[in-house]
Amino acid sequence: MATAEFGRAVRRWRDRVSPEAAGLPAGGQRRAAGLRREELAMLAGISVDYVTRLEQGRASNPSTQVVDALARALRLSGDERAHLFRLAGLVPPGPDAVPTYLTPSVQRLVDRFTGTPVAVHDATWTLLMANPPYAALMGDPSGWRGNERNSVWRHFVGPGTRARHTPESLRAFEAALVADLRAAAARYPADQRLRRLIGDLRRSSDRFAELWDSGAVGRHEAARKVIDHPQVGALTLDCDVLTVSGSDLRIMVYTAEPGTEDAERLALLTVLGTQTLAG
């Protein structure tokens, strides 16, 4: 059970993180240099009310996923993250769990892509973080919860993505998703969250179950994708997936060929962000 010190620690670390450090605009008058509760909630993918209750000691038993999301949003070091888990009454994830920790070096790398859509996923293709250009391009993920944050789930069960597929590219994409998940299950056989995800997918999607049972193999490769954006139309972009050695993270980067209409549309999206486009 989370202690009162858990809330105090979250508040203390929230005050330490500037909006700029978290990739957010500073904007307007601020009573403190740190993150607002609304900003922390958005970055962690939880409600503002829940952040408030946690900080005030009125909420107990935060899940592993919530604590992990708070640790990422607050940009905690490895030792600080482990301390936050213990304050929540939880055992810090061990080597048998799918890594979800963004090291400071990975965070700094992502921060440098200020005008480029970038998202970081774990080995199960669960979204850990997305920068504002990615949210503008692919849809704001801040309200996604649970399995909604997993790309395999979103493809086979949920609403899908804005990426356009040919029948051939769709088959290759689905085979790669299933193969990646099977490989993760082999590397982390004791991860209960991963086992639940696979079970949910097999029950909810006949197509996933078919590919899983058939032993489908494939792999993600650099590809040129067409993204159907509801405001600016179709963009043809290069999508590269970078794997971080030692932490099993996947960094997905979308870029446009310089001097093209696609580059202009991507730049427009980066400027407008999600709020203006949604209005």
Nearest to 19 by CA among 29, 8, 7: 29
| 185 or 271, which is more confident | 185
Do 245 and 131 lie in one domain? The reply is yes
What is the per-residue pLDDT across 193-220, written as a single tens digit (0 to 9) for each? 999 999 999 999 999 999 999 987 777 7
Same domain, yes or no: 81 and 175: no
Residue 92 lies in a domain: no
Q: Are 116 and 194 in the same domain?
A: yes
Say which residues have a Cβ less than 8 Å from residue 161's Cβ, sequence separation at least 6. 138, 139, 151, 154, 155
Domain annotation covers residue 96 = no
Whether residue 27 has pLDDT greater than 70: no
CATH code: domain of residue 229: 3.30.450.180
Mean pLDDT of 15-35: 76
Domain count, the chain: 2
Last residue of a domain, one of 87, 121, 139: 87
Query: Which tens digits make up the pLDDT trace of 40-75?
Result: 988 888 889 999 999 988 887 888 889 999 999 899
Q: Of 87, 121, 145, which residue sits at a domain end?
A: 87
User: Which pLDDT value is given to residue 184?
Assistant: 93
52 found inside a domain:
yes
Across 219-245, average pLDDT:
89
The reported pLDDT for the residue numbered 241 is 92
**What CATH number should be reported for the domain holding residue 53?**
1.10.260.40
Does residue 164 sit in the same domain as residue 211?
yes
What's the token pair of residue 207? Answer: 């197509």
Mark whether 29 and 143 lie in a shared domain.
Answer: no
- Give the β-pairing of 223-229 and 233-244: antiparallel
Residue 276's pLDDT band (boundaries 50, 70, 90)?
Answer: very low
Domain of 34, in residue numbers: 4-87
- Domain contains 97: no
Residue 93 lies in a domain: no
- For residue 253, is it within any domain? yes
